[in-house]
Structures are given as C-alpha cells and as structure tokens.
Amino acid sequence: MIPQSPIVTIFGGSGFIGRYIARRMARAGWRVRVAVRRPNDALFVRTFGVVGQVEPVQVNVRDDASVAAALSGADAVVYAVGVLTPTGKQTFDSLHVDGAARVARLAAEAGINRLVHLSAIGADANSDSAYARTKAAGEAEVLRYQPEAIILRPSVVFGAEDKFFNRFAGMARISPALPVIGPETRFQPVYVDDVAAAAEKALTNGVHAGIYELGGPEVDTFAGLMDRMLNVIRRRRLVLSVPMPLARAMGKSFGFLHRISGGLLSAPVTHDQVLQLGRDNVVSEDAMGFADLGIQPTPMAAELEDYLTPYMPYGQYARLTSSAKDLRY
C-alpha cells in the first residue's frame, strides 16, 4: 500500500504570508488544505502543486463545526489569520484571540500536535494598542491548548504583494510628499518567503517549540525605509514627519469613518496603527530567530527593485531609459 502524503491545513492560506507557506509545503510534498472564508477567491492556490494537491476549502474561524471540518484528517496546522484594520465581525478579538484559540483547541482534540501560529513582533498583553494586545492574547490561548506550538513573530513583512512598500511607492507616484508617522521608529523588514521558510521548518524539521522573532538582516527607521524605497523607484519626494498629536487625531477620525461606513471607506491610518508606529519593531536581543532555524534572511536590496519596478518613472523600461542617457552619438 502506497503511503498517503501528510496533510497541512493552513487557515488564512491565501493571504500575503499564508500563500507562501502553502507553496512551500506543496513543494515539500505535502497535501495542502487552504482554509479561507471565500474559496472562489483563492482558486489560484491550486497552481502551487500538482492537480488536487492544493485545495481551498471554506471555513469560518468563529464556528466550531466549520473549523473541525477543515482540520479533519490533517497532520499539521498553521494559523495565519489576522487583520490590521477590523471590519464588521472581523475584529481583532474574533480573529487574533477567539479564532486562534478555537483552532488550537479543536486541533488538540483531533490529536494534531504540530501547530504553527503567526503572530507579530510587538505582541504585548500590556500594550495600549489593541492589535498588539490581541496578538499576545492569541499566543497565550494557543499555548494553553498546544504547549508545543511554534509561534512566529515577524517584523514588517515585505514582498511582491505587501501593503507596506507597495503602498508608499504608489503614493510617491502621485504625491510630492510622503507623510510619515514615527519617522524614527525602527523596523527590521523581513522577506515574506523567509517567514514561510521558517513555518516550513517548524512543520517538517522538528525544531524546538517556543516563540521565534523574525527580522531581516537590516534595521532602519521608518524615514530611512522611505528613502530606500524612493531610491529604488528613482523618485525624489519630501519625507514629511507627521507630529504624533496630529497623527492620533487623524487616526481617530479615519477610524470612526471606517467603522460607521461598515468598511466602505478605507482608513489611511487608524488610531491603533498610530500607537503601534510609536514603538520600535525589531527583534529582541535574547529572542530565538532565524539563526536558530538555520535560515539566512534575505536583504531588502535583493527583492525590492524587482517588484517595485511598476512605480518607476518609466516602469519596466526604467533601466533601458537610464542606460540610454549615457549614450554618446
């Protein structure tokens, strides 16, 4: 009898980080169940493996029966569900805490003891940021049901589908200035596929249980990252510091409009995000990280230019037009 390949259920497997984990697990020979709210929007994950190897399935992480069905027959589970801006029933508490707890509890009841939980650097039960508090609460709930779980805390994540460099590069294409809240706040950007590699190792290589903080090889300020991005897309823009009192007022106003519109009006920044931007987002000195997983993190320069090309003045022809300037007739 030919042994069946192991199955991993990835909650949020079509999201920014989840899709990279799904692709890696498929390449490692696993069958991948991508558990999402809207399977029809996640059909692209099928291309990550051979026919039938990667399949999206419908799940509601607020419902026990739905989660149990997604876990049925699985050998491992990844929880990669999260939001930066809550909308409707998709709140910080319902996704970061209750959803994580439900998945960990039902996985334990099903005898699944390989669990990777995606959290974030800055998770802190005592934080004034609801995002950071609920991330910490979610970690605690996961460890309550799955003491041997592996928790990954990335810094700001960059990659082709990111909402960090892409967002500001898009602004730079049309605006003469980039407003920056907390310009001296330090970040340690981490490449999305490196985070996925950490999850793959956690699921397949029997690494030590615990919390791993994941940051790239470079630490820079928010303003410094904007300068790097502008240099990559070859645009000169004013990096404008937004005073914290004004930023907090803007965050409250935008957040209020976002809530009362039911999410129809997007919030450029929320009050909770302003609170987060007031604190450094870097790996702690005594934390386990990439070195403990045997992974060499990718520098920003290796990836940024490839996916930020559309924001250059001449797009894909930027290199050609730049070299043409040096021609002598």
DSSP codes of every residue in 172-201: HHH-SEEEEESTT-EE--EEHHHHHHHHHH
In a domain, 288, yes or no: yes
Mean pLDDT of 140-166: 97
Q: How many domains does the chain have?
A: 1
Residue 278 sits at φ, ψ, to 5 deg, of -85, 0
In a domain, 108, yes or no: yes
How far apart are alpha carbons 117 and 105 in whole angstroms?
13
In a domain, 321, yes or no: no
Q: What is the pTM of this model?
A: 0.93
Share of the chain above pLDDT 90, in %: 82
Indicate the burial class of 114 (C-beta count within 10 angstroms; 0-12, 13-18, 19 or more). Answer: buried
Per-residue model confidence as pLDDT tens digits over 267-292 = 778 899 999 999 999 999 999 999 99
261 compared with 220, residue with greater pLDDT: 220
Token pair for 329: 């007739």
The domain that holds 198 is classified in CATH as 3.40.50.720
In a domain, 28, yes or no: yes
- 150 C-beta neighbours (distance < 10 Å), count: 24
253 compared with 134, residue with greater pLDDT: 134
Please name every residue paired with 119 in a beta bridge, in sequence order, or none if there are none. none
- Rounded to the nearest integer, the mean pLDDT of the chain is 92
86 compared with 264, residue with greater pLDDT: 86
Which stretches of the chain are DSSP H helices?
18-27, 64-71, 92, 100-109, 130-145, 165-174, 192-204, 222-233, 244-260, 271-276, 290-293, 304-308, 318-324
Residues 180/241, Cβ–Cβ less than 8 Å: yes
Location of structure tokens 């914290």: 244
Residue range(s) defining the domain that contains residue 65: 7-162+188-217+282-297
In a domain, 249, yes or no: no
How far apart are alpha carbons 195 and 169 in whole angstroms?
23
In a domain, 133, yes or no: yes
- Neighbour order of strands in the sheet with 115-118: 54-58, 31-36, 7-11, 76-79, 115-118, 150-154, 210-214
In a domain, 263, yes or no: no
In a domain, 208, yes or no: yes
How far apart are alpha carbons 154 and 214 in whole angstroms?
4
Mean pLDDT of 143-155: 98
